[in-house]
């Protein structure tokens, strides 16, 4: 009956483990045997390990990939056979690994000797008319192809106009006639073409045309090469301060028919109070050209990576109640992506900022007389370099599963110029100058790590975390970091209980002489935690917690307790996820305000100064 219950006990007896005592290799093909035995240090099967089906499957997959890397096109794990002898030696296994000329699904009489393959003809077909291409595949129309031989046995086919220069396509290709077939070279070629972002589909197919030859056919289906991008961030707090940051950019991924990227961007930042006449206005414009090669380096120098060379020219105008700043930036550098696309590196050996400050108010000028502050707000000449590295466990735009990423960045300035100090004039403070402005000398570093754990039904829930740290140090010709290199906190991607630049440094209150927040420091520490969950339709919710602040080093060492300077906030968010973009609204609630040393209770969350609303595009981290 329903009320009767039964108790069931399960007794489970685990099978006995048999460690491998000896490994014997039965590989009749001398070339295969030589290749395999030369790589046994990388084998996953070793003496002393307990034998298992999973272990042997991993080894056959690894070794099959090794053979494909050495010319054996189409070699699969099914050519491997294993015999585990548990009778000869007690409580252990004598393992025999065999490589046959037939697969596990074939009869021995169907055996065919393994052969190493070389590349025959290479054909690259950049499709310009997708409809005609599909009709040609179905043999409904003549493809009307023009053929260009870019080098012996390498051909580029065109069905209409030439969208991208044949020499560029040939340079991106790593599969060359006469070379021994290597699986990694084919994969590298695929990724190099895909990284152009010109093609919606890249297909690298190999056709066996002889017992030892494969032809390579590369078909490229085009995607949209130009367009516009819009972005908007906004925030407001309980004191009535409003901040809006719009941005628009135009991109063309084939501006000169050679896979060159052009990006023109325009952005602004406007801050104002509802009942306050004070305003802060900032405009930026930049132009970037990116080439699909390493400029000034031979193409073979980085043959196994996906290269780009970037040239950037930018202008920034900022007008605040306390001062006006004009800045011109010119930058040149290299970036490249690993074959797996997990690693992205950037080296900018030359970066120049020319900064002019004007219209400093008497009150602000008096406030920055300390040389450790004043040097941040004077005309200066900034020549240096920038170096960064990023790792993405899942490099896709919108990862569907648990993933993590980290980034490190280092900026150096003034070191090269310091070698010519004796040739430069000095100003009244003793600083060396160029064109009447002192040059900046500093080192600045940043690092961040973010982890997103996906869980729940269809992994629609996520717990995202991030930690970041940054610090800068001025030396030599400078007493302080330039204002554009200082750290700040608050806003839609930082401490969301505060408006942008309205917190810190440390326990310092906001400067009363400054009507629009501009709190900065030369150190930053921050940690974030966010629970994301589906609501209904395309809406998702979030519960978040942020902690951190900025600090000034000279004040940090005088604080009795480092923890007194840490700000805490929590909050709720709503996100509209429409696949290609996430529109985000966050309500940040202060828990602890370092400047007053106060913990906020629920009664304070709705009072002036107790909360901030944030609007953004995309996730904060």
CATH assignment at residue 72 = 3.10.20
Domain that holds residue 30: 20-110
- 222, 162 in Cβ contact below 8 A? no
The dihedral built from the CA positions of residue 485, 489, 493 and 494, taken in this order, carries a sign that is: positive
**Is 232's pLDDT higher than 90?**
no
- The confidence score (pLDDT) of residue 108 equals 87
Please check whether residue 253 lies inside any domain of the structure.
no
* Element containing residue 364 per DSSP (H, E): helix 362-367
pLDDT, tens only, 303-346: 667 789 999 999 999 999 889 999 999 999 999 888 778 999 99
The CATH number that applies at residue 303 is 2.40.160.50
Of 610, 606, 607, 608, the residue nearest 593 (C-alpha): 610
Instruction: pLDDT band for 295, please (50, 70, 90 cuts).
Output: confident
Instruction: pLDDT band for 195, please (50, 70, 90 cuts).
Output: confident
Indicate whether 528 and 404 sit together in one domain: yes
Q: Between 238 and 384, whose confidence is greater?
A: 384
Please check whether residue 257 lies inside any domain of the structure.
no
Of 63, 86, 110, the position where a domain reaches its end is 110
Indicate whether 103 and 122 sit together in one domain: no
What Cα–Cα distance (Å) separates residue 429 from each residue in 120, 144, 364? Answer: 70, 74, 20
**Is 414's pLDDT higher than 90?**
yes
Indicate whether 184 and 324 sit together in one domain: no
Query: 3-state DSSP call for residue 150?
Result: strand
Q: 24: which 2 tokens?
A: 């014997």
Of 160, 192, 222, the position where a domain reaches its end is 222
Indicate whether 72 and 184 sit together in one domain: no
- The confidence score (pLDDT) of residue 130 equals 67
* Element containing residue 68 per DSSP (H, E): helix 53-68
The single-letter DSSP state of residue 179 is: S
- The confidence score (pLDDT) of residue 222 equals 86
DSSP 518-553: ---BSEEEEEEEEEEEEEETTEEEEEEEEEEEEE-H
Please check whether residue 451 lies inside any domain of the structure.
yes
**Is 606's pLDDT higher than 70?**
yes
Percent with pLDDT over 90 in the chain: 61
Query: 3-state DSSP call for residue 511?
Result: coil
Indicate whether 576 and 609 sit together in one domain: yes
Overall average pLDDT of the 78-86 stretch: 94
**Is 485's pLDDT higher than 80?**
yes
Total length of the chain: 621
Name the least confident of 142-151, 435-444, 478-487, 524-533.
Answer: 142-151
For Cα atoms 145, 157, 220, give the angle at the middle one, nearest 5 degrees.
115
User: Looking at 393-475, which runs of residues are DSSP E strands?
Assistant: 403-413, 433-434, 437-438, 442-455, 461-474
- 221, 133 in Cβ contact below 8 A? yes
Please check whether residue 509 lies inside any domain of the structure.
yes
Residue 252: partners with Cβ closer than 8 Å, 6 or more residues away? 225, 226, 261, 262
Please check whether residue 141 lies inside any domain of the structure.
yes
**Is 238's pLDDT higher than 70?**
no
Please check whether residue 217 lies inside any domain of the structure.
yes
Q: Distance between terminal CA atoms of the chain? A: 56
Indicate whether 203 and 132 sit together in one domain: yes
Strand partners, 396: none
Of 615, 315, 376, the residue nearest 518 (C-alpha): 376
Q: Between 232 and 75, whose confidence is greater?
A: 75
- The confidence score (pLDDT) of residue 291 equals 92
Residue 572: partners with Cβ closer than 8 Å, 6 or more residues away? 541, 542, 543, 544, 586, 587
pLDDT, tens only, 572-582: 999 998 877 89
Q: Enter the pTM of the model.
A: 0.78
Average pLDDT, the chain: 89
Distance in angstroms (rounded) separating the CA atoms of residues 79 and 100:
5
**Is 237's pLDDT higher than 80?**
no
Q: 524: which 2 tokens?
A: 């930053």
- The confidence score (pLDDT) of residue 134 equals 66
Please check whether residue 232 lies inside any domain of the structure.
no
> 6 phi and psi, to 5 degrees?
-130, 145
Q: Between 150 and 560, whose confidence is greater?
A: 150
Name the least confident of 10-19, 198-207, 214-223.
Answer: 10-19
Instruction: pLDDT band for 509, please (50, 70, 90 cuts).
Output: confident
The Cβ of residue 4 has, within 10 Å, a number of other Cβ atoms equal to 5
Q: Between 375 and 68, whose confidence is greater?
A: 68
**Is 559's pLDDT higher than 60?**
no
- The confidence score (pLDDT) of residue 163 equals 83
Indicate whether 511 and 425 sit together in one domain: yes
Which of the residue ranges 189-193, 373-377, 411-415 has the most confident prediction, judged by mean pLDDT?
411-415
b/e burial code for range 460-482 (CB count within 10 A of at least 16 → b): eebebbbbbebbbebebbbbbbb
Indicate whether 75 and 191 sit together in one domain: no
- The confidence score (pLDDT) of residue 361 equals 87
**Is 565's pLDDT higher than 60?**
yes
Please check whether residue 258 lies inside any domain of the structure.
no
- 586, 492 in Cβ contact below 8 A? yes
Strand partners, 444: 411, 472
**Is 486's pLDDT higher than 80?**
yes
Question: Domains in the chain: how many in total?
Answer: 3
- The confidence score (pLDDT) of residue 152 equals 94
Overall average pLDDT of the 269-288 stretch: 87
Indicate whether 151 and 278 sit together in one domain: no
- 248, 227 in Cβ contact below 8 A? no
What interhelical angle do 53-68 and 30-37 show, nearest 10? 110
- The confidence score (pLDDT) of residue 314 equals 98
Of 81, 110, 139, the position where a domain reaches its end is 110
Indicate whether 124 and 104 sit together in one domain: no
Overall average pLDDT of the 448-470 stretch: 95
pLDDT, tens only, 85-114: 988 888 899 999 999 999 998 888 888 999
Indicate whether 367 and 432 sit together in one domain: yes
Overall average pLDDT of the 349-363 stretch: 92
Indicate whether 585 and 485 sit together in one domain: yes
* Element containing residue 167 per DSSP (H, E): helix 166-172
**Is 474's pLDDT higher than 70?**
yes
Q: 120: which 2 tokens?
A: 């025959």
């Amino acid at each position: 009956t329903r009320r009767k219950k039964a108790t069931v006990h399960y007794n489970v007896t685990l099978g006995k483990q048999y460690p491998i005592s000896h490994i014997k290799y039965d590989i009749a093909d001398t070339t295969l045997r030589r290749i395999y035995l030369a790589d046994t240090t990388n084998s996953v099967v070793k003496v002393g390990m307990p034998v298992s089906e999973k272990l042997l499957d991993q080894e056959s997959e690894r070794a099959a990939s090794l053979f494909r890397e050495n010319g054996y096109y189409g070699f699969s794990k099914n050519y491997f056979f294993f015999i585990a002898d548990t009778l000869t030696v007690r409580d252990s296994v004598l393992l025999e690994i065999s490589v046959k000329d037939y697969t596990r699904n074939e009869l021995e009489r169907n055996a065919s000797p393994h052969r190493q393959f070389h590349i025959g003809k290479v054909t690259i077909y950049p499709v310009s008319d997708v409809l005609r291409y599909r009709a040609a595949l179905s043999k409904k129309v003549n493809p009307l192809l023009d053929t260009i031989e870019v080098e012996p046995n390498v051909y580029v086919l065109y069905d209409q106009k030439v969208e991208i220069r044949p020499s560029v396509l040939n340079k991106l290709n790593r599969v060359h006639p006469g070379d021994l077939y290597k699986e990694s070279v084919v994969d590298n070629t695929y990724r190099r073409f895909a990284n152009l972002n010109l093609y919606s589909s890249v297909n690298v197919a190999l056709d066996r045309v002889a017992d030892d030859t494969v032809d390579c056919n590369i078909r490229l289906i085009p995607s949209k090469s130009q367009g516009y991008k819009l972005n908007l961030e906004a925030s407001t707090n309980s004191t009535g301060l409003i901040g809006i940051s719009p941005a628009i950019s135009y991109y063309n991924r084939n501006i000169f028919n050679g896979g060159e990227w052009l990006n023109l961007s325009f952005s602004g930042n406007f801050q104002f109070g509802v009942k306050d006449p004070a305003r802060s206005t900032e405009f930026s414009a930049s132009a970037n050209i990116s080439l699909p090669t390493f400029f000034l380096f031979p193409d073979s120098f980085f043959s196994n990576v996906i290269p780009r060379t970037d040239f950037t020219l930018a202008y920034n105008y900022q007008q605040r109640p306390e001062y006006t700043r004009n800045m011109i930036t010119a930058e040149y550098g290299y970036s490249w992506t690993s074959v797996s696309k997990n690693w992205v590196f950037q080296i900018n050996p030359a970066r120049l900022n020319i900064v002019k400050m004007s219209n400093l108010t008497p009150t602000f000028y008096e406030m920055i007389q300390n040389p450790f502050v004043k040097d941040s707000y004077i005309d200066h000449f900034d020549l240096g370099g920038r170096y960064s590295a990023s790792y993405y466990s899942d490099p896709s735009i919108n990862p569907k599963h648990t993933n993590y990423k980290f980034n490190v960045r280092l900026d150096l300035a003034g070191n090269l110029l310091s070698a010519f100090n004796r040739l430069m004039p000095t100003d009244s403070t003793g600083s060396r100058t160029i064109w009447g402005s002192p040059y900046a000398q500093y080192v600045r570093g940043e690092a961040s790590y973010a982890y997103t754990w996906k869980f729940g039904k269809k992994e629609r829930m996520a717990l995202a975390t991030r930690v970041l740290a940054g610090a800068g140090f001025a030396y030599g010709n400078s007493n302080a970091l330039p204002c554009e290199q200082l750290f700040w906190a608050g806003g839609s991607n930082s401490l969301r209980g505060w408006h942008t630049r309205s917190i810190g440094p440390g326990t310092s209150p906001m400067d009363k002489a400054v009507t629009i927040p501009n709190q900065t420091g030369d150190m930053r520490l921050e940690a974030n935690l966010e629970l994301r969950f589906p609501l209904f339709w395309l809406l998702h919710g979030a519960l978040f917690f942020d902690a951190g602040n900025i600090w000034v080093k000279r004040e940090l060492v005088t604080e009795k307790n480092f923890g007194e300077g840490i700000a805490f906030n929590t909050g709720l968010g709503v996100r509209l996820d429409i696949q290609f973009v996430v529109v985000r609204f966050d309500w940040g609630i202060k828990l602890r305000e370092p400047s007053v040393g106060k913990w906020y209770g629920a009664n304070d969350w709705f009072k002036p100064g107790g909360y901030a609303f944030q609007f953004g595009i995309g996730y904060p981290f």
